Structures are given as C-alpha cells and as structure tokens.
C-alpha cells in the first residue's frame, strides 16, 4: 500500500511539476519566458481547482476509485498534450492533466493513514511525502533532456508513462482502508466546534513561505552572490532536496517515537525561525557558514509537511479527511504560487540576506499557533 501510494504521488508530481523543465525548449521555439511560464503553470492551476472536489469524492467513494480515475485521466490528458502540436492546446491539456493528477494528493495520503497503525503512521507518511521531491528529481533528470533533444511535446511522454505505470500498480495493489460501519451520516463536521484543524492549516500555510523562499532563490543566490557555477549550485540544491526528503522521514519517525505530531511540528517551526535568521545573518556577512545553512534550511522548512498532513487526516477521520487534506493542500499551493513573485520584489529592493531573514517572521508567528494542547492521544 505504501509503495503504490508513493509511486502514485511521485508520478503525478512528474506530471504537475515536470512542465517547468520545458521552459527552455519552449523559449527556444519562440515563446517569451512569460508565455512559457504560463504553459508550465497550467498543471498547477488545474491542481488548485480540483483538490477539494477530489477530496469530496474520496470521502464518499473511496481511495482506490479516485486514484485510478485520476491516474487514467492524467494519462489521457497527458497523451493529448504530447500529441497537441500547438502551444494553446498543450497548455489546456496540461491543465486538465493537473486536474486529474490532483486526485493522488488526497487519496494516496488517505491510503497510508488508513492502513498504518498510529505507532508507524508518521514514518509511513514521511516516506510517502518523499514522493514530491522524488517526482521533481525524476522530471529534472528526464524531461529537460528529452525536451532539449526531441522537443517539448516529446518530453510530455515521460509523465504519461509514469502515470500509466502507477495506474497499473494501483489497480493491482490498492484496496480501500477499512472504515467504521456507521457511515458518513454519523460523522460530525470536524470544523464546526474544533479549532485544531484550522490552526494546523494556518501553521502549514505560514511554513510554506520560508520553504519556497529557499526553494526558489537558493540556486540564484549561490550563483549571483556567492559566484558559484550554475552546475555546482545545481548539484548542491539537488543534494539539499534529497536531504530534505530524508528529513521528512526522520520527522515522521520522531512523531511515532514521542506519540505526538504537534510537539515535533512545534520543534520544526522553532528550528525554521532560527535557521532562516541564521541564514540571513550569514548571507549578509558573506561568511562560509551561509552555504551549509542554506542546506539546513532546505531540510528544516520541508520537515513539517508530513507531520501536518498526518495530523489533519487523523483528526478529520475517514469520512472528512479527504476534504480536510484537500483544503490543506489548496491553501499551501496558493501560498506557494504567491511566494516567488513577492519574495522576488524583496530581493530586488533589499537583497537576499534581508529576504532570508524576513522569511523567519512567518514561522515565528506560527510557533504560538501549533495546537499542542488540543492534540488527542494517537489511535
């Protein structure tokens, strides 16, 4: 179940994030960078539109159906994109592929939460949360090369193939987790009288800011301010992403050991404040410590994802967690989309050190919002 869920999430991450690696090829064929960027953003827009509807369907119809429908839909629309031959059709088809791919964001996490006991759930979800950086890495290693050699349309066959493999694996392996026999009608709305879920959503949104500041600007900072070569900077950023993926596993395992999701979430939040402040100061002073700090910041600022995701699913329950996880992801995606342009303005006006340090304000606000006292015993 864990392997199938992780492969499903990784394959759809290739579909959603992979088109960003088509930008150089599209630009070389006459598109402006802005136009190529819009094509690359089309799957993300589709994901944002579809998360909550997929969450509702997951709550009502189950995880297996949603995963299969989404993966098959991603294959169909991805194939249409690969065969489109025109930029407008490519963007529309990729957007629809993003709509389909959004299914795995909700349903694959539900499979893991539903089949693993509380004492192993944090580690399992940490492994599943590795899927996104793994998918981005696969896309970077394949789609950019294919696009350079054979064009952007040929490169779209990579996520199509990945989603097709995932669909077969899900069809063979995945079974819906057991649910209470009482049915959805007996499950109360967890948002009506409980502030626990909204507070986790808010904390997660605030922690997206330093995460995407580092993800977006680490490479260009190394090249512009530290005078690294693009190849060396890219290698360091790729290594930091791997470290961040492993950090998600470590955070999940820690939450299992201490039998709490919120205490480790608060520790990660405090660490994010200290690391971003340290990175800002080290970058401003131009000391060598700034480079290992950017790697550490990459690790710490993504470590919260699995903890929050698991806690939301556990609290919302089997008949509401689809919608709760969809709301969580939608808020994070929208925030992530706003961070690069706004942080870019800050970099232009005040520089990288100030931007890194200002990003610490958001986890600082989040520290007091982590609902440690409201957490229930893990079951």
The rounded Cα 88 to chain-centroid distance in angstroms is: 26
Q: Is residue 371 within 8 Å of 262, Cβ to Cβ?
A: yes
Asked whether the beta carbons of 261 and 314 are under 8 A apart, the reply is: yes
CA–CA gap between residue 255 and residue 307 (Å, rounded):
7
- Measured from the Cβ of residue 232, the count of other Cβ atoms closer than 10 Å reads 12
Backbone region of residue 180 per phi and psi (left: phi > 0; alpha: psi in -120 to 50; beta: other values): beta
DSSP code of 376?
P
Task: Please say whether the beta carbons of 298 and 159 come within 8 A.
Answer: no
Q: What is the pLDDT of residue 343?
A: 84
Please tell me the distance from the alpha carbon of residue 166 to that of residue 71, in angstroms, as a whole number: 7
Q: Evaluate whether 262 touches 314 at the Cβ level (below 8 Å).
A: no
The confidence score (pLDDT) of residue 161 equals: 97
Q: Encode the chain (379 residues) as per-residue pLDDT tens digits.
A: 999 999 999 999 999 988 887 888 888 888 886 788 788 888 888 998 998 899 889 888 889 999 999 999 999 999 999 999 889 999 999 999 999 999 998 898 889 888 998 888 888 888 888 888 788 778 877 887 888 889 899 999 999 999 999 999 999 999 998 877 655 555 677 888 778 899 999 999 999 999 888 877 887 788 888 888 867 877 787 788 788 888 888 999 999 999 899 999 999 999 999 999 999 999 999 898 999 999 999 889 988 888 998 898 888 887 888 888 888 888 988 888 788 778 888 888 898 999 999 999 999 999 999 999 888 877 6
Does residue 239 contact residue 301 with C-beta atoms inside 8 Å?
Answer: no
DSSP single-letter state for residue 377: P
Q: What Cα–Cα distance (Å) separates residue 374 from each residue in 84, 113, 158, 265, 362?
A: 51, 20, 44, 13, 22
How confident is the model at residue 357, as a pLDDT? 95
DSSP 3-51: HHHHHHHHHHHHHHHGGGGGHHHHHHTT--HHHHHHHHHHHHHHHHHHH
Instruction: Name the CATH topology of 2-177.
Output: Growth Hormone; Chain: A; (1.20.1250)
3-state secondary structure 47-85: HHHHHHHHHHHHHHHCHHHHHHHHHHHHHHHHHHHHHHC
Best CA proximity match to 213, nearest among 360, 101, 326: 360
Question: Any idea what the Cα angle at residue 38 is, between residues 33 and 42, rounded to 5°?
Answer: 150
Tokens linked to 325: 């996880």
What's the pLDDT at 91?
92
Domain 196-367's class? Answer: mainly alpha
Sign of CA dihedral 247, 251, 252, 256: positive
- Predicted confidence at residue 181, as pLDDT, reads 67
Decide if 220 contacts 372 (C-beta within 8 A).
no
Does the pTM surpass 0.75? The reply is: yes
**Full 3-state SS string of 174-197:** CCCCCCCCCCHHHCCCCCCCCCHH
- Write out the two tokens for 50: 């579809």
- pLDDT over 70 percentage in the chain: 97
Please list the alpha-helical segments (H only) found in 151-261: 152-155, 157-173, 196-224, 230-257
**Alpha carbon distance 63, 104 (integer Å):** 9
Task: Summarize pLDDT for 85-101 with one digit per residue, the tens.
Answer: 889 999 999 999 999 99
Look at residues 269, 262, 72, 291 and name the one whose alpha carbon lies nearest to residue 164.
72
Q: What is the structure's pLDDT at 185?
A: 54
Indicate where the chain has its CATH 1.20.1250.20 domain(s).
2-177, 196-367
Per-residue pLDDT reduced to its tens digit, 211-260: 888 877 887 788 888 888 867 877 787 788 788 888 888 999 999 999 89
> What single-letter DSSP state applies at residue 86?
S
- pLDDT value of residue 184: 55
């Amino acid at each position: 179940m864990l392997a199938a869920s992780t492969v499903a999430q990784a394959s759809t991450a290739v579909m959603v994030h992979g088109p960003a690696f088509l930008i150089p090829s599209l630009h070389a064929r006459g598109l402006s960078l802005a136009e190529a960027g819009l094509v690359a953003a089309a799957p993300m827009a589709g994901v944002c539109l579809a998360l909550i509807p997929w969450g509702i369907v997951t709550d009502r119809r189950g995880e297996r159906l949603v995963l299969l429908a989404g993966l098959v839909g991603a294959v169909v629309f991805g194939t249409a994109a690969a065969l489109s031959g025109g930029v407008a059709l490519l963007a529309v088809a990729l957007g629809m592929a993003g709509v389909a791919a959004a299914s795995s964001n909700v349903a694959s996490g539900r499979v893991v939460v539903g089949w693993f006991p509380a004492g192993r759930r944090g580690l399992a979800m940490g492994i599943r949360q590795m899927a996104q950086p793994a998918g981005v890495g696969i896309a970077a290693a394949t789609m950019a090369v294919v696009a350079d050699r054979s064009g952007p349309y040929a490169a779209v066959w990579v996520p199509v193939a990945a989603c097709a493999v995932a669909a077969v694996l899900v069809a063979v392996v995945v079974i819906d987790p057991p649910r209470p026999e009482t049915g959805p009608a007996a499950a109360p709305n967890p948002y009506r009288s409980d502030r626990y879920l909204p507070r986790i959503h808010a904390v997660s949104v605030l922690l997206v800011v330093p995460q995407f500041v580092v993800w977006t600007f680490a490479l260009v900072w190394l090249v512009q301010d530290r005078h690294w070569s693009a190849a060396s900077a890219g290698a360091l950023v790729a290594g930091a992403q791997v470290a961040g993926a492993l950090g998600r596993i470590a955070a999940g395992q820690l939450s299992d050991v201490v039998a709490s999701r919120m205490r480790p979430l608060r520790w990660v939040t405090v660490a994010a404040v200290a690391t971003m402040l340290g990175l800002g100061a080290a970058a401003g002073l131009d000391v060598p410590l700034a480079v290992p700090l950017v790697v550490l910041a990459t690790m710490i600022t993504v470590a919260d994802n699995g903890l929050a995701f698991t806690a939301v699913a556990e609290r919302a329950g089997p008949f509401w967690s689809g919608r709760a996880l969809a709301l969580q992801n939608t808020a994070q995606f929208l925030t992530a989309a706003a961070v690069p342009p706004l942080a870019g303005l800050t970099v232009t006006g005040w520089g990288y050190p100030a931007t890194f340090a200002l990003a610490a304000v958001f986890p600082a606000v989040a520290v007091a919002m982590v609902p440690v006292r409201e957490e229930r015993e893990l079951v």
